[in-house]
Each structure stands twice: as structure tokens, then as C-alpha cells.
Structure 1
Amino acid sequence: MTVDTPHPVAATGRQPTPPLLRVEGLTRHFMVSGTRIDVLHDCTFDVSRGEVVAVVGQSGSGKSTLLNVLGLLDEPSSGAYTFDGVDTTSLREGRRSRLRGDGIGFVFQQFHLLERRSALANVGVPMVLGGVPLLRRRTRARELLEAVGLGHRLHSQPHQLSGGEQQRVALARALSREPALVLADEPTGALDAASSTMIMDQLIDQSRVRDAAVVVVTHDPKVAERADRVVELVEGRTR
């Protein structure tokens, strides 16, 4: 006769790890010339550490607005957004800014690199803003560029790099302060198929290695299918 062994988690009585971010009943509207424009309606979902989530939807469905809220660049009109155990809807701007700088990294479709700075210097920018000492900053930037396959491009400027290489520099920059959450807005939209695959490889790898959550806004079904889960936005509502 066999005896089932209790699951270790059940045996220790540990509670499940809470999600890194949780959105509940979130709405966002704007006033344009006295007219209210509703963009997000009652959005509800969560994302765990180490999880890659793709947000998909037609143009105008509210994807970029949602990403701005998740990145603490914008505030919801109503509802709740909890990030890393902090209710962000009641934060003063200074606290929001610190939480954003310390906990969230951004990757955009347009790379937004400093044109006359090397890849090494570009990756170091968030660390400068975070007060990281110079030697540690350079060491960390070098390690990140090597991790994304650009150890041979440390001193190259953006105009000397391909689109895929520039996006990898942007990804290394996003990871420079070891954020718990990486938000990527159409990170492969300006890239060819091979470069797109490489960027997604790097995002997924960083999620697994660092236990970071990754939220990717995309129109590309090939990108979405590589995520652990897909959140669909339809007319501003999550599905």
C-alpha cells in the first residue's frame, strides 16, 4: 500500500506568495474639451514574480494607458493598483517617483538612447539618477551588456549599432537597477524577426533568472504566444 506524502507547502502551512502587482476595478478617463473620454473600464488582473504576461488588443483599446498606470507614470481615475505590497493610488508624487525608479524598468518601441553616449554610458543613466557610485555603475553596466550579448559593443554609440543591438542596450538599461517589474511597450515593433526573437529571449531569460515580472504590450501574435499568460484588452476592459 502506498501512502501519499503531503505537499511541502501544505505541510509547513506557508501562505501562497502574493502577486507582485494587482489591479482591481481600475478605470481611467480623460477630459477633452469638456467631454469625458473613458479609456479603461473596470480592469482586474494580477501578475506574479517570474511571470511574463502579454497585453494584447486593437489600437485604441487602452494598452498604452494601462502600461502608464502600471509604470506609475499616470494615476487611475478609480479602482486600486497595488505594486509590491504598496497601494499606489494614495501615494504622493515623490513616493511614486521613488517606487518607480527603484522597482520598475521600461523598454519602449523607440529605443530612447542618448546619441552621443556609449552603450556603457546609456545603461548607466538610471544608476546615475539612483546615486550608484561610478565604479559600481560601470561594473554593473558591463555585466548587463555582456548578459545581453553586447560585451563587444561597450563603447559603441547608438548610430554604430543595429536596431536589435540598440534595443538590447535599452533592455540592459531597464534592468540596471534590478527592478521587480519590467514593462515593455511594443519592444519588437521596430525590429526584424530575428532581432524580435532575440529580445523576447532576453526578456524571458531575465524573468526566469531574476524572478522579475515582465508585462509586454504587443500587436505581434508570435510575441504574445511566448508569454506565460495573455491579458486581452477589448474596448478598455480586460479579458
Structure 2
Amino acid sequence: MAVGAAAPALSRPGTAPLLRAEGITRHFTVSGTRIDVLHDCTFEVGRGEVVAIVGQSGSGKSTLLNVLGLLDRPSSGTYDFDGVDTTRLREGARSRLRGEGIGFVFQQFHLLERRTALANVGVPLVLAGVPALRRRARARELLESVGLEHRLHSRPHQLSGGEQQRVALARALSRDPALVLADEPTGALDAASSTMIMDQLLEQARVRDAAVIVVTHDPKVAERADRVIQLVEGRTR
């Protein structure tokens, strides 16, 4: 693992990076006062690479993740995702690109309490209009890939925290995204479950050739990434 900087990342020779952020800034205006959160963030991430973003609370990690996930727009700079300059896209195109190309895993699992694991994993496929039989087959395949073939019909309250996070990971992978964004995915888990979730993230990156970006406070999580990007007062290092 090498400590990342604002310089180009570890893209494979002869291939373009999956994402490139260049000169990203983000500011907000609150009660007439401008608050600058991100400053000139520049980095690349390649396919199949696992990157950890670390920084103190208030350093801008969540804001940066929202920009990378196309949930927010930068105030200035450019963000290219899979060869597309996202800063030029209208909202409808951004939404489609986000739904097809990016999966999200959060600290809080955000599972539907009255739905089974199988149904929860299938939610993005429902939104994509995938027929029911194909949807259930895909959800079953993904749950099996994260070791939950025995929990297909369990509801969230019947699952441990680690199992719920694996369901959330399977859901994030349902549309085979090129990028998985994980915001403190082990923050609510014990040490054993945290290790298991990181094992799964690393495995999925390898098997699916997906880039994985993990925002974390946990040095044990960060040290398992291929590279670490430090965010200090809104600046990448």
C-alpha cells in the first residue's frame, strides 16, 4: 500500500482510468456566508483498484464522495467517469449514469425492514425494469457470492449487522457497477464482521474488475486498500 497524493493514480498501462477528478472544489452558502469544503482535489482511480479516503471529521470526505457518486456537482473543476465528463451532463443523464455505473454501500445499511434479503437486493433491478424471474435469479446469485445463500428469505431484523451489510453490498453490486463507493462500511460492525466486509469488497473488486473507494476512519480498513488518499482540510494528499 502506498500513500496517495494529488498525482495520477495506479491505472493499468495502456488503459484510461475509470475516474479522474481534476481541480474539484465545492463550496456552499449558508446564511449569506460562503463555506469552502473542497479545494483543488485531483486524483485518478483505475479499474479493479481499491482506494481508501481518510481524514478527520469535517475534512470533506462525505462531500467528495457525493461528488464522485454523482449525487452532487462540484463548484468548479472536472470529473470524468468512464470516459464521460459528468460536469457537462444534465440531471437525467447523470441519474442514468449513476444508476448503471455506481453502487453505494453505507454505514447504516438502509435495508427495507419488511422485505427479505432477496427482495432487498432486487430493489435496484426493479427500478431498472428487470423482469421478476431474472431479478430473483440475479439477487440469489449475488447473495450466494457474499456467502448468504442460507439467508435468502430472512428479513433484516433476523440478520446480524455483518449479514445486513453483506446484503447491502450485494444490493450495491446488483447492476454490476464499474465503481463501488463505500462510506464507513464497517463503522457499525465488530472486528470480525469488519474483516469479512473488507474481504468481500476486495474480492468483488478482483472478480468484477470494479473500482472500490472506501471512506473510513479505521486504519485497519485503510491499510488493506491498494492506495490511500488523505483529505486534509478539503485538499487531497
TM-score (norm 2): 0.94
- Residue 141 (structure 1) aligns with: 139
- Residue 88 (structure 1) aligns with: 86
Consecutive unaligned residues of structure 1, counting only runs of 5 or more, are: 1-14
Q: Which runs of 4+ in 1 moved over 4 A?
A: none
Q: What pairs with 1:23-102 in structure 2 (closer than 5 Å)?
A: 23-102=21-100
- Residue 151 (structure 1) aligns with: 149
CA–CA distance in structure 2, aligned partners of residues 51 and 36 of structure 1: 35
- Residue 18 (structure 1) aligns with: 16
Q: Deviations over 1:92-113 (max 9, x none)?
A: 0000000000000000000000
Letter in 2 for 1:206: Q
TM-score (norm 1): 0.94
CA–CA distance in structure 2, aligned partners of residues 176 and 108 of structure 1: 15
CA–CA distance in structure 2, aligned partners of residues 130 and 180 of structure 1: 16
Q: Deviations over 1:203-225 (max 9, x none)?
A: 00000000000000000000000
Consecutive unaligned residues of structure 2, counting only runs of 5 or more, are: 1-12
Count of residue correspondences: 225
Query: Deviation of residue 16 (structure 1)?
Result: 1.1
* Partner SS state of residue 116, structure 1: coil
Letter in 2 for 1:144: L
CA–CA distance in structure 2, aligned partners of residues 128 and 69 of structure 1: 25
Q: Deviations over 1:98-157 (max 9, x none)?
A: 000000000000000000000000000000011111111100000100110100000000
- Aligned identity (percent) is 87
Query: Deviation of residue 59 (structure 1)?
Result: 0.3
* Partner SS state of residue 152, structure 1: coil
Letter in 2 for 1:178: D
- Residue 188 (structure 2) aligns with: 190
CA–CA distance in structure 1, aligned partners of residues 188 and 196 of structure 2: 13
Q: Deviations over 1:19-41 (max 9, x none)?
A: 00000000000000000000000
Who wins on radius of gyration, i.e. which is larger?
1
Letter in 2 for 1:120: L
Select 1:117's aligned residue among 115, 118, 139.
115
Q: How well do the aligned residues superpose, as a CA RMSD in angstroms?
A: 0.6
- Residue 126 (structure 1) aligns with: 124
CA–CA distance in structure 2, aligned partners of residues 42 and 132 of structure 1: 40
* Partner SS state of residue 150, structure 2: helix
